Amino acid sequence: MRDAFHEELDAVFGDLASICGLVETAVSQATKALLEGDIDIAEQVISSDEQIDRAREAVEDQAFALLSLQQPVAGDLRVVVAALRMVTELERMGDLSVHVAKIARLRVPNVAVPGEIAPTMVKMAETAEDMVSRVQKIIVQRDVSAAIELGRDDEIMDQLRRASFTQLLGDDWEHGVEAAVDVALLGRYYERIADHAVSIANRVVFVVTGENPRSLDS
């Protein structure tokens, strides 16, 4: 009975990893739409959010079934509850990708990101996408060391966010309020994607060790 239960738990984590793959694609495609002003790609990202939502609902159904039918003991209960929280974080990451795509769509036929700030925005997008890719592996492998390392690397995104604000507030900014608002929002969206990735990684640490990742960080 317990073997079947743990197989179902593993299946839930496999589904979480699959959703993470969908999110990674959404982040990548939303960025492409943003930087190229491609309305078709933007629409694809917006439409794909429904697939992520359905996948989230399926994981929730699996998790609630495990809670109601299997009566998990403390350690297993920790895993199920963590999975429920992780899938919510993944859904929010998908939503943030949609927000990026909607800004891209709104500014077509123009590009929302002015040329001189584009390199910073590209680095933010690449950092966010890399963190999503890494957290997918962390979910699959239950890799505590990689999870802790991801949390440390979040500082890179924070530095890029600060750099974008420095550019926005500089005396030589000449693109007006609308572009400034777009860039500020985009920076926030990518930063939040990274934050959610770190949060998921921290939950994996807790699932594996039963401890807060901060207590393991040295």
Q: 179-213 burial, b if ≥16 CB within 10 A, otherwise e?
A: bbebbeebbebbbbbbbbbbbbbbbbbbbbeeeeb
pLDDT at 55 over 60: yes
Q: Residue range 135-164: average pLDDT?
A: 92
Banded pLDDT at 214 (limits 50, 70, 90): low
3-state secondary structure of 212: coil
pLDDT in tens, 169-181: 888 899 899 999 9
Whether this prediction's pTM lies above 0.85 is answered by yes
Structural domains of the chain sorted by starting position, each given as residue range(s) with its CATH number in brackets: 2-216 (1.20.58.220)
Q: Residue range 110-122: average pLDDT?
A: 93
